[in-house]
A = this chain, B = another copy of it.
Amino acid sequence: MARAGITADRLVEAAAELADTAGFDQVSLSALARHFGVAVPSLYAHVKSSHDLKTRIALLALAELADRGMAALAGRSGRDALAALGGVYRDYARAHPGRYAAARLPLDPQTAAASAGPRHSEMLRAVLRGYQVPAAEQNHAVRFLGATFHGYVSLELAGGFDHSSPDSQQSWSRAVDALDVALRHWPS
């Protein structure tokens, strides 16, 4: 019987692809086994469980997002950096909704610490360097930024802005402006 040549990485890649096209909740070992023309239990040679597979998608998404974020932030500051980082999140979520959903998965503490998650906080903190936010307020501002980015992307992805004018691009632009204002006049 010819081998299918499955590796953990190829599996995760295919799973991420499936998540983006069919929805994260459609990711299953069964679906992947069908995709690779293989029996379901065969996949257990590569991943520990269905949960393990989903966690790996999350780690992939967090890493891809962090890479793009770092690239976007390079050489930018202030409002430019803010818009660039926000744009990365938004664009990634629209291009890869399944991966983005995976990235919101709760991770156990060790996994989270070893993930690209910390890099995300660092990126938000880097954006703040372009504003005069007091040191003691940095964490608050990071949380505020993260919340708004995630919230907007999440609502947009859920289709919340689909059937009402004006189009989402304009609202996004305004949201970035509003964040810029809030950071420039950070309350203390």
- B152–A139 contact, CB under 8 A? no
Given contacts A148-B147, A151-B151, A182-B179, contact A174 B140 (CB under 8 A): yes
- B140–A175 contact, CB under 8 A? yes
- A155–B147 contact, CB under 8 A? yes
Task: Tell me the chain A residues, 161-188 only, with Cβ under 8 Å from chain B.
Answer: 161, 163-166, 168, 170-171, 174-175, 177-182, 185-187
- B148–A148 contact, CB under 8 A? yes
- B187–A144 contact, CB under 8 A? no
Given contacts A143-B152, A147-B148, A151-B154, contact A186 B178 (CB under 8 A): yes
Closest to A137 in B: B174
- B106–A158 contact, CB under 8 A? yes
Interface of A, secondary structure class, is helix
A176 CB to closest chain B CB (Å) equals 9
Instruction: Note all chain B residues with C-beta closer than 8 A to A151.
Output: 146-152, 154
Interface centre among A109, A149, A155, A178 (most CB of B within 10 A): A178
- Count of this chain's copies in the oligomeric assembly: 2
Given contacts A154-B151, A158-B104, A181-B181, contact A175 B143 (CB under 8 A): yes
A-B contact pairs, 21 of them (CB 8 A): A106-B159, A109-B163, A139-B164, A139-B171, A140-B174, A143-B168, A143-B171, A143-B175, A146-B160, A147-B154, A147-B155, A148-B148, A150-B154, A151-B151, A174-B187, A178-B182, A178-B186, A178-B187, A179-B182, A181-B182, A181-B186
Listed from nearest, the 10 A-B pairs whose CB atoms lie closest are A151-B151, A147-B151, A147-B152, A177-B187, A140-B174, A178-B182, A182-B182, A150-B151, A143-B171, A148-B148
